[in-house]
Amino acid sequence: MRSVVAGLICAASLLTIPQVWADEAAAPVEPALLVPLSGAPALRSAFALVRDDTTGEILMSKNGTTSVPIASISKLMTALVTLDAALDLAEPIEIADSDVRATAPNRSALAPGMILTRDDVLHLALMASDNRAAVALGRTYPGGMSAFVAAMNAKARALDMLGSHFAEPSGLSQENVSSAEDLARLIGAANAHDLIGRYSTDRSHTVTLRGRPVTFRSTNALVRAGDADITVQKTGFTRAAGQCLVMMLNGSARKFTVVLLDALGRYDPVLDAAALRRWLEPGYALPASLARLDAPARSTRKSARARHPAVPSRARDPRHMASNEIEQPRFN
């Protein structure tokens, strides 16, 4: 009798276990949000991530897996693809009418017919976030723009940036999307190139255009203020992406990657970065020239999820496809 009962129990178990698995498989999977460390600051940025690069530990994530437009942060991938191709940096590149059309109505000191070396074009794309420079890099890539964009997406896959997609090299397109977690991987790859680190953290760069020296400035207020702890960085802004800032920092004892996306005010990413550094390293203060900006965080924006629903891997929300987004000429 006991053997019959045991057999019935086993049979019932075998019948119910697959149903449990099926229910779990059918349940919607929510993105995992890491709980911040105790005392983490309130942030103005809707999407954020902090990684300890000494240990690889993610210390804080705020909507870190959600794919959203990233504006000129895209130019870090543009630089990676350019350098991976081992192209001649001394080769002259002429700014073309098509570069202007591709970035209209954005303005730039680079006019059609001006000639710069690929090295200078790369420098201006990274430091001054010049959109015509970024487009010129893609246009002069072997195989042209289509090959360049394919290389951008191939590099994203190689870096395991599965929530990212690139449509062009400047970041003006709202189809250029990524997540904070993916961008942390991108920053790590960019940091492996000394040239990207040096060019992105230069305060200014002067080039000769039609026989006259023209000086471009960094779009990052922290860099312009002389923050020497930043080893690689990029800013970005479009109406769809909001104010964005990504960077790798050399702290007093450890290295950190900071990703800040979709802030409302022009200086909000700088203030978020300062708040995070005080959290990570008590005693940090903004450079004196920026100290006046420090103020409590404002709660004047809609829910991040309401403004930017999750964008599936390699897919774009139609609401992120409006044209004529204008890159902010300066981030100050």
By DSSP bridging, strand 230-238 and strand 212-217 are: unpaired
The yes-or-no answer on residue 75 being catalytic is: yes
The yes-or-no answer on residue 74 being catalytic is: no
- Among the listed residues 61, 67, 108, 129, the single catalytic one is 129
CA distances from 90 to 80, 81, 107, 117, 118 (A): 17, 17, 25, 5, 6
Q: Which residues pair with 221 in a beta bridge?
A: none
Half-sphere exposure of 36 (CA within 13 A, CB side): 17
- Among the listed residues 45, 62, 67, 75, the single catalytic one is 75
Report how far residue 46's alpha carbon sits from residue 22's, in angstroms, rounded to the nearest whole number.
Answer: 35
Quick count: other Cβ atoms within 10 Å of Cβ 225? 17
Residues 6+ apart with CB under 8 A from 3: none
Using CB atoms within 10 A of its CB, is residue 7 exposed (0-12), middle (13-18) or buried (19+)? exposed
Half-sphere exposure of 243 (CA within 13 A, CB side): 22
Specify the 3-state DSSP secondary structure of 51: strand
Plot region of 166 (φ>0 → left; ψ -120 to 50 → alpha; else → beta): beta
* Helix H or strand E encompassing 246: strand 242-250
- Among the listed residues 45, 67, 72, 108, the single catalytic one is 72
The yes-or-no answer on residue 155 being catalytic is: no
Question: What residues are labeled active site?
Answer: 72, 75, 129
